[in-house]
Amino acid sequence: MTLRKILFLTIIFIFSSCEKKSDLVPLMSEFNESINFTALTPQNILFAVDSTLVLCDQIVDDLLAVGESERTFDNTLLKIDDLEATLMRPANPLYLMGSVHTDQDIRQAADSAVILLQQYNNNLKMNVDIYNALKVYSASSEAKSLTGWQKKFLDDQLRLYKRNGLDLSKSKRAQVKSLRNLLDQRAMQFYNNISSYSDTLFVNEDEIIGLPDNYKNERKTADGRYAIDLSYPSFLPFMKLSESSNSRRRLLEKYLNRAKNNNLPILRVILRERKKLANLLGYHSYAAYSFEENMAQTTEVVYEFENDLLAAIQTKIEKEMDLLLEFKTRKTRRPAKQIFQWEKYYYMDQLAKTRYKLDAEEVREYFEIGNVIDGLLNSMQDLFDLRFVQVEDAQVWHKDVLLYQAYDNETNDWIGSFYLDLFPRANKYSHAACFDVVEGKAYPTNYQKPIFALVCNFPKSSPEIPSLLTHDQVLTFFHEFGHGLHNLLTKSPILLYSGTRVEQDFVETPSQVYEEWVWEKAVLTKFALHYKTGKPIPDDLLKKMLAAKNMLSGINTAQQIYYGILALTLHDNYNPFGLEKTTEIVAKLQDAITPFPYMPDTHFEASFGHLMGYGAGYYGYLWSEVYTQDIFSVFKQNGIMDRKTAWKYRTAILEKGGTANAADLLFDFLGREPNNQAFIRSLGL
């Protein structure tokens, strides 16, 4: 008996002797049982990984033991999905823990574990024996008669193994495996360097003029100065409201240089290794390799999309810049010819206040976080006929984290759960994201219910004032919850098509759709209540918000185009082996695409986290927005809270996940081919 078999039997014996697997290790909890995050330790993380790899080895053995003539969809393709599910069982929550847990030892253990699991997964995707088993099955009469998602699954898996170099020589396959493992390690380092980075700007009383008293009180130090850190609740209000241009410049310089010392060399390595990988697999660039499986399919299509859109908004950008320059001229009493990066937030906010009489601080007073949570959950419950119930005394990783269970009202069935981790703290993921904890999958006896975690960084309540969100933060909240609903409502029979496992340039569409509800009076008046009086947001303030919505849509869209072309350029038309630095690309593209010149000695790319998970694919945000507006136009026509429309959207798109191509899902919902008319209207063009 091999050592691996002995370990496997030992694990089975230990598990069977426990009343609950979670008594031994939280990450190996029972089927459809919540994870006990309070019991997590570095030791049981290691045990979970070892146990998982042994279980995966057993699945591989079972898959490969099947005779050629006996291969079926169930004993071959479904085994591949079982492998993914077994690996993701600890990998998903560990990836989350590495981003949010308060204990450094647990974060480090989680990150190390994720790397091991990713490397194992890379090895699976490079396993020639599994690929050969797939090819044998693909030649069978059963395989040739497959239809629907099953045929798609077979085709996708065959293509995946080919894209991993399984048709290459043994030596080249080894290079591909080595490159993938290295890239996983470097991407994890890149992320961690951003989340663990901290810096603070200390300012005097005259440098914080313009900020409200509650902001100042929360940041006042013993020596009478004010500590402005780089978290969103600290950074953005200062950039918008501080009357000190010099202080805004210094804060922005710190913000744009986050993690630069560690991440600039890591990024160069990542870009080099990605290019090596793409070339090894027969593609001229990593972007070309990545886009092959997207809706866009080619880099040429993406460049055309971005450049055509940039051309379409140029006139609007010019008009918007004229307004900003006119305002700056009046403010400074000198002819203004340029708006600098550290000035844009300030003058954009000032323009909204003067032109539309819109004060962002006044708007915040209507978005107390408790009311926002209620509004978000209630609107989604009403729309999709769901019921969310908060779990008391939940076993979570921090006292501020909330856990909810979701039920289908029609059947009263529990369909999944979600966590809300909403406030900033040291060493926590610094942006907003939806993390998978458990992904949906059908098993012979039951369906694995999905669980997700919403991680945000909204301002915490203080003794003087409750947590109040900007309207942009409310949009972010709804956006990320949209990703969560995509996961929560999945009915995919396999994990590899569950929830958000769709084409990369479509994945943002369902999340962006929910942002639109935050502009609708019928929704806002139910939860946008003044934190002191309880009165709903008045019509005149809402009208100002709507009037200002597209005030600077040209400039804001140009910024998104810049991010998209930057990510694409770094992975397509840039030689990471040459002398040109990534920062030179940043400066060149920012000056060419946006109306705000590059700020010398800053290195935005060092904290551009989307370069890891999305690679070259940041364009997907704008690409998805085209479909977002087309989808929402149907809701606008039929009623934004129309359950019939919501049910069609749920069944045609959300429940399907990746079981069909995104283009087909869109056609099923729209009843026609999608177009960009609603998108163009949404920009005010």
337-371 per-position pLDDT tens digit = 999 999 999 999 999 898 888 998 899 999 999 99
More confident residue, 214 or 529: 529
- Asked whether the whole model's pTM tops 0.85, one would answer yes
Instruction: Give the confidence band of 479 by pLDDT, cuts at 50, 70, 90.
Output: very high
Q: Which two tokens stand for residue 245?
A: 């241009």
Q: Which residues of 480-500 are buried (b: 16+ CB within 10 A; e: fewer)?
A: bbbbbbbbbbbbbbbbbbbbb
SS3 for 336?
Answer: coil
Q: What average pLDDT is seen over the chain?
A: 94
3-state secondary structure of 430: coil
Please check whether residues 91 and 214 belong to one and the same domain: no
- Residue 97 domain-assigned? yes
295 within a domain of the structure (yes/no): no
Distance CA 308, CA 246 (A): 37
Please identify which residue in the block is written with the tokens 């690409």: 623
Residue 198 DSSP class? -
User: What's the pLDDT score for residue 684?
Assistant: 85
Name residue 104's amino acid. Answer: Q
The residue annotated as part of the active site, out of 320, 368, 480, 508, is 480
Give the three-state DSSP class for 529: strand
Q: Which of helix, strand or coil describes residue 200?
A: strand
Taking the C-alpha atoms of residue 25 and residue 45, their distance in angstroms, rounded to an integer, is 8
Q: Which helix (H) or strand (E) holds 157?
A: helix 148-163
pLDDT band, residue 18 (cuts 50/70/90) = very low
Residues 15 and 109 reside in one and the same domain: yes
Active site residue 515: no
pLDDT tens-digit series, residues 588-606: 999 999 999 999 999 999 9
Q: What does the DSSP assignment read for 43-89?
A: HHHHHHHHHHHHHHHHHHHHHHTS-GGG--IIIIIHHHHHHHHHHHH
Q: How does DSSP assign 448-461, residue by residue?
A: EPPEEEEE--PPPP
d(CA 281, CA 162): 9
- DSSP label of 38: G
How do 433-438 and 451-455 pair as beta strands? antiparallel
Would you say 400 and 500 are in contact if contact means Cβ atoms under 8 Å apart? no
Of 200, 236, 263, the C-alpha closest to 603 is 263
Residues 150 and 31 in one domain: yes
Distances (CA, A) of 682 to 251, 289, 632, 633, 677: 33, 32, 11, 10, 9
Question: What angle, 0 to 180 degrees and rounded to 10, lies between the N-to-C axes of helices 42-64 and 128-138?
Answer: 40
CA 262-266-270 angle, to 5 degrees, is 165
Within a domain: 168:
no
Same-domain check for residues 98 and 210? no
What tokens does 219 get? Answer: 């940041």
Average pLDDT over residues 529-545: 95
Q: What is the DSSP letter of 406?
A: E
Give the torsion through C-alpha atoms of 395, 399, 402, 405, to 10 deg.
10
Measured between alpha carbons, how far is residue 173 from residues 157, 179, 187, 420, 604 in Å?
Answer: 17, 10, 21, 42, 35
Domain span at 150? 3-125+127-155
Question: What was the pLDDT predicted at 613?
Answer: 87
State the Cα–Cα distance between residues 95 and 497, nearest whole angstrom. Answer: 20
* 182-to-270, 288, 332, 442 alpha-carbon distances in Å: 8, 20, 52, 33
β-strands 451-455, 414-421: how paired?
parallel
Give residue 550's pLDDT: 87
* Model pLDDT for residues 407-442, shown as the tens digit of each residue: 999 999 999 999 999 999 989 988 899 999 999 999
Read off the DSSP letter of residue 29.
P
Q: Is pLDDT larger for residue 264 or for residue 550?
A: 264
**Do residue 85 and residue 224 come from a single domain?**
no
Q: What pLDDT score was predicted for residue 1?
A: 43
In a domain, 326, yes or no: no
User: Residue 584's closest CA among 112, 115, 264?
Assistant: 264
Average pLDDT, integer, range 479-483: 97
What distance in Å separates the CA atoms of residue 425 and residue 429, rounded to the nearest whole number?
9
Phi, psi of 214 (to 5 degrees): -65, -35
User: Are residues 145 and 220 located together in one domain of the fold?
Assistant: no
Angle formed by the axes of helices 662-670 and 620-638, nearest 10°:
20
pLDDT at 27: 86
Last residue of a domain, one of 226, 256, 286: 256
Residue 329 has pLDDT above 50, yes or no: yes
Look up residue 537 and give its DSSP letter.
P
Residue 201: what are its φ and ψ, rounded to 5°? -100, 125
In b/e form, how buried is each residue of 86-116, taking b as 16+ CB within 10 angstroms? bbbbbbbbbbbbbbbbeeeebbebbbbbbbb
In a domain, 136, yes or no: yes
15 with 136, same domain: the answer is yes
Task: State pLDDT tens for residues 149-193.
Answer: 999 999 999 999 999 999 999 999 999 999 999 999 999 999 999
Provide CB contacts within 8 A for 683, sequence distance 6+: 313, 316, 550, 553, 554, 557
Is 151 found in the same domain as 15?
yes
Both 120 and 205 in one domain: the answer is no
The reported pLDDT for the residue numbered 13 is 44
Q: Is residue 164 part of a domain?
A: no
Contact assessment for residue 355 and residue 544, using Cβ atoms and an 8 Å cutoff = no
Per-residue pLDDT band at 464 (split at 50, 70, 90): confident
Residue 28: pLDDT band with limits 50, 70, 90: confident
pLDDT recorded at residue 5: 52
**Is residue 92 pLDDT above 70, yes or no?**
yes
Read off the tokens for 20: 């609950």
User: Torsions phi, psi of 226, nearest 5?
Assistant: -125, 135
Q: What percent of the chain has pLDDT over 70?
A: 96
Number of Cβ within 10 Å of residue 446's Cβ equals 9
Question: What are the tens digits of pLDDT across the range 621-659?
Answer: 999 999 999 999 999 999 999 999 999 999 999 999 999
CATH number of 13's domain: 1.20.1050.40
pLDDT reading at 212 higher than 80: yes
83 to 60, 185, 246, 479: CA distances (angstroms): 8, 22, 55, 31
Q: Give the chain's domain count.
A: 2
pLDDT of 446 > 50? The answer is yes
How many whole angstroms separate alpha carbon 97 and alpha carbon 39? 13
Looking at the fold, whether 9 and 144 belong to one and the same domain comes out as yes
Look at residue 16 and tell me if it is in a domain.
yes
Question: What pLDDT score does 2 carry?
Answer: 52
Specify if 23 maps to a domain: yes
Report how far residue 66's alpha carbon sits from residue 70's, in angstroms, rounded to the nearest whole number. 6
Is there a single domain that holds both residue 50 and residue 144? Answer: yes
pLDDT(222) > 50: yes
Q: Do 142 and 203 lie in a common domain?
A: no
